[in-house]
Structure 1
């Protein structure tokens, strides 16, 4: 599995959190964030992240947290429709994946073999899916895996 290495800065984000079993409802949360961002003129050059916060193998499905996020400028004032937070930067392995449920699921299972095969250790941060811009013309996303220095 091919990857590139990137160092992310700290990102200030606006996000909406959903708690419950991962699946199609996560897409609805991302659509809410995109709708909010479009209304605020933030979507066109946006960086969006989909962040499953919990491992469904060790967390009950009803307790799994999912954050749909958009990077926002440091001086941007958020409203009550979204939460505000920060993603801590660091070193990530970036895997480009076709944006289909099957391809993303396969990528998540292949990532751990790739890490081990290439001598990387996962850092104690969530794996994220990264989307750039409006995504209408780009059928790919990036799986971003945090690794220890």
Structure 2
């Protein structure tokens, strides 16, 4: 870090670098939830002192590394249980890093107040309750990939009508992997995301000459499971080979493969309805299930918002595989 910078600028640059390193650790943890997590290895991922890393992590995240990993394992399991597949509970437990079904059931009941089987069985009821809550709280309507969402009006035939005017059709297609630069927002979803794009990611894209590149929004957490202040959202833009962003941006690859893709066009507050219909209704009757790759919204920033009507246009993309 340059000593020529004014103190305030040095402080901002230092915090941005810390954020980028911690995001690398959070991404690594999510990719290895099915395996033991080694403190020294995580410190190396962040390029922090092994001696101090645990204290740095706890101060930055507001919870210890052990508590964070346990929470993320349980949240991942809760999402898999609620997504409508017939995957055995024991398989979910092992895939999320638990050594036995008994240990998983105890931890799950302690965290969520339900057994894993009860959580799966009551998923439709919780979705309906969330829908009612969001209709009374518009700030939480603009949801993001991977979240439980309010249920829309619509049939079960592969298309969706919102407010009698917007129709969605779902196509199964193979998408290429995308190399992106991203900045991460940690906190409640909703209007914060639009503010983050306008005030943080949008200016960063322009200052780096990336206007016109494909953009993606990746919400990693389900706010009906994850505490709102812990939810993670990545604002992403496609970058060319060789591009190396400075802090606070980081590089990632959105994996390619088979996706269910639906074009959304409507008022931003209605996108939560679209996500709900896709993940709770269309997916359940499609013969497919979501896998563990990230879901996302894909859009062209130059054409995503109609200035006259305020309508949003984007593709909702959900990774799928056979049941």
TM-score by length of 2: 0.43
Q: Looking at both structures, which has the greater relative contact order when contacts are Cα pairs under 8 Å and sequence separation is at least 6?
A: 1
In proportion to residue count, which structure has more helix?
A: 2
How does the TM-score come out when normalised to structure 1?
Answer: 0.90
Match status 1:35 vs 2:203: yes
CA distance in 2, matches of 1:62, 1:5: 34
Deviation, 1:120, is: 1.3
Which whole-Å CA distance do the structure 1 matches of 2:304 and 2:229 have between them? Answer: 31
2:216 to 49, 63, 66: 49
Aligned pair partner of 2:283 in 115, 129, 142: 115
User: Is the aligned partner of 1:140 residue 2:307?
Assistant: no
Partner of 2:232: 65
- Secondary structure at the residue paired with 2:197? helix
Secondary structure, counterpart of 1:80 in structure 2: coil
The structure that has the greater radius of gyration is 2
Residue 3 of structure 1 aligns to a residue whose secondary structure is strand
> Partner of 1:121: helix, strand, or coil?
strand
1:86 corresponds to which of 238, 241, 253: 253
Q: CA RMSD in A?
A: 1.7
Number of equivalences: 148
1:17 aligned onto 2:190: no
Q: Partner of 1:142: helix, strand, or coil?
A: strand
Unaligned runs of 5+ in 1: none
Give the drift of 1:35.
1.5
Contact 1:99 1:141 in 2 (8 A): no
Q: Distance in 1 between matches of 2:304 and 2:258?
A: 28
Would the aligned equivalents of 2:185 and 2:232 in 1 still touch at CA under 8 Å? yes
Tell me the alpha carbon deviations over residues 11-38 of structure 1, each in whole angstroms, 9 at most, x when there is no partner. 1111110111111111122222222111
Instruction: Note the C-alpha offset of 1:10.
Output: 1.9
Q: Which structure is higher in strand share? A: 1
Q: Is the 8 A contact 1:50 1:67 kept in 2?
A: yes
